[in-house]
Chain A
Amino acid sequence: MIEARGLTKRYGAKTAVDNLSFQVRPGIVTGFLGPNGSGKSTTMRMILGLDSPSSGGVTVGGQPFKQLANPARTVGALLDAKSMHPGRSARANLLSLARLSGLPSRRVDEVLAQVGLQEVGGRRAGGFSLGMGQRLGIAAALLGDPQVLMLDEPVNGLDPEGVLWVRQLIRSWASEGRTVFVSSHLMSEMALTADHLVIIGQGKLLADMSLQGFIQQYSSGYVGVRTPPEDSARLVGVLSAAGGNAQPNPDGSLKVTGLEANRISELAHAQGIRLLELSPQQASLEEAYMRMTQHAVEYRASGPGAVPQGAGPGYPQPGAMQAPAGMQAPPPMGYGPTPGQPVPYGQPAQAPQAAPPGYGFPPTAGGPAQQPQYQPQQVNPYATKSEG
Chain B
Amino acid sequence: MSVSQPYPPTYPPQGAPAPAPGYAPQPGFPPQSGYAPQPGFPPQGQTPPQGQMPGQGQMPGQFPGQPPVQPARTPGMAGAAERPNLLHALVSESTKLWTTRSTLWLLICATLSMPVFDFLLSSHYSGLEEVARSQFMSDSGYGGIIALLLYAPLGVMVIAAEYSSGMIRNTLIACPRRGRVLTAKVLMLFFGSLVTGIALSAFSLLVSHAILPGNFGDSVSTGTTIDTAFRSGLYLSLVTMFSFALGTMLKRSAPAIVIMLGLIFVPFVMAILVGGNIGEKLMNYSFISGLLYQYGEMVQDTGPTATDMLVYLGAATAVALAGAYALLLSRDA
Q: Taking the complex as formed, is A345 at the interface, i.e. its CB lies under 8 A from any CB of chain B?
A: no
Q: Are A69 and B2 neighbours in the complex by a CB distance under 8 Å?
A: yes
Which A residue's beta carbon lies closest to that of B79?
A104
Q: B82 CB to closest chain A CB, in angstroms?
A: 4
Known contacts A168-B47, A371-B64; is-contact A68 B4 (Cβ 8 Å)? yes
The stretch of A230-238, A263-271, A360-368 in contact with B is A360-368
The stretch of B95-103, B122-130, B199-207, B267-275 in contact with A is B95-103
Residues of chain A within 8 A (CB-CB) of B167 are 83-85, 93
Q: Are B55 and A85 neighbours in the complex by a CB distance under 8 Å?
A: no
Q: B19 CB to closest chain A CB, in angstroms?
A: 13
Q: How many residues of B contact A (CB 8 A)?
A: 82
Known contacts A102-B84, A115-B37, A210-B55; is-contact A68 B176 (Cβ 8 Å)? yes
Known contacts A113-B31, A164-B39; is-contact A195 B46 (Cβ 8 Å)? no
Residues of chain B within 8 A (CB-CB) of A107 are 74, 76-77, 80
Residues of chain B within 8 A (CB-CB) of A383 are 53, 55
Residue picked from A68, A69, A145, most chain B C-beta under 10 Å: A145
Q: Are A50 and B36 neighbours in the complex by a CB distance under 8 Å?
A: no
Q: Are B64 and A373 neighbours in the complex by a CB distance under 8 Å?
A: yes
Q: A270 CB to closest chain B CB, in angstroms?
A: 32
Q: Taking the complex as formed, is A251 at the interface, i.e. its CB lies under 8 A from any CB of chain B?
A: no
Please report the C-alpha to C-alpha distance between residue A125 and residue B217 in the assembled complex, in whole angstroms.
56
Which residues of chain B from 138 to 170 have any CB-CB distance to chain A below 8 Å in the complex?
Answer: 161-162, 165-167, 169-170
Known contacts A167-B48, A168-B48, A172-B28; is-contact A116 B37 (Cβ 8 Å)? yes
Q: A95 CB to closest chain B CB, in angstroms?
A: 5
Residues of chain B within 8 A (CB-CB) of A169 are 28-29
Q: Taking the complex as formed, is B51 at the interface, i.e. its CB lies under 8 A from any CB of chain A?
A: yes
Q: Are A110 and B74 neighbours in the complex by a CB distance under 8 Å?
A: yes
Residue picked from A77, A107, A172, most chain B C-beta under 10 Å: A172
Known contacts A106-B76, A370-B65; is-contact A69 B171 (Cβ 8 Å)? no
Please report the C-alpha to C-alpha distance between residue A14 and residue B100 in the assembled complex, in whole angstroms.
39
Q: Taking the complex as formed, is A350 at the interface, i.e. its CB lies under 8 A from any CB of chain B?
A: no
Which residues of chain A from 349 to 364 have any CB-CB distance to chain B below 8 Å in the complex?
Answer: 360-364
Q: How many residues of A contact B (CB 8 A)?
A: 106
Residues of chain B within 8 A (CB-CB) of A96 are 92-93, 95-96, 99, 171
Residues of chain B within 8 A (CB-CB) of A51 are 332-333
Residue picked from A96, A365, A377, most chain B C-beta under 10 Å: A96
The stretch of A58-66, A240-248, A252-260 in contact with B is A58-66
Q: Taking the complex as formed, is B66 at the interface, i.e. its CB lies under 8 A from any CB of chain A?
A: yes
Q: Are A95 and B99 neighbours in the complex by a CB distance under 8 Å?
A: yes
Q: Are A82 and B166 neighbours in the complex by a CB distance under 8 Å?
A: yes
Which A residue's beta carbon lies closest to that of B67?
A365
Known contacts A62-B6, A116-B37, A165-B39; is-contact A71 B176 (Cβ 8 Å)? yes
Residue picked from A68, A99, A367, A371, most chain B C-beta under 10 Å: A99
Residues of chain A within 8 A (CB-CB) of B58 are 175, 374
Q: Are A50 and B173 neighbours in the complex by a CB distance under 8 Å?
A: yes
Which residues of chain B from 61 to 81 have any CB-CB distance to chain A below 8 Å in the complex?
Answer: 62, 64-68, 70-71, 73-77, 79-81
Q: A130 CB to closest chain B CB, in angstroms?
A: 14
Task: Pick the contact of A162: B37, B89, B91, B172 (CB < 8 A).
Answer: B37
Q: Taking the complex as formed, is A277 at the interface, i.e. its CB lies under 8 A from any CB of chain B?
A: no
Please report the C-alpha to C-alpha distance between residue A33 and residue B91 in the assembled complex, in whole angstroms.
38
Q: A351 CB to closest chain B CB, in angstroms?
A: 13
Q: Are B28 and A168 neighbours in the complex by a CB distance under 8 Å?
A: yes
Known contacts A49-B172, A102-B85; is-contact A69 B4 (Cβ 8 Å)? yes
Cβ-closest 3 pairs across A and B:
A83-B166, A61-B6, A102-B84
Query: With A145-B14, A211-B55 given, can you name 4 additional A-B contacts, CB distance below 8 Å?
Result: A29-B57, A48-B173, A161-B36, A177-B70
Chain A positions near chain B (C-beta within 8 angstroms): 1, 26-29, 45, 48-52, 61-63, 65-66, 68-75, 77, 79-80, 82-89, 92-93, 95-97, 99-104, 106-107, 109-110, 113-120, 140, 143, 145, 147, 159, 161-162, 164-165, 167-169, 171-172, 174-177, 191-192, 194-195, 210-212, 215, 285, 360-371, 373-374, 376-377, 383-384, 386-388
Chain B positions near chain A (C-beta within 8 angstroms): 2-4, 6-8, 10-12, 14, 25-29, 31-32, 34-37, 39, 46-48, 51-59, 62, 64-68, 70-71, 73-77, 79-85, 88-89, 91-93, 95-96, 99-102, 161-162, 165-167, 169-177, 181, 332-333
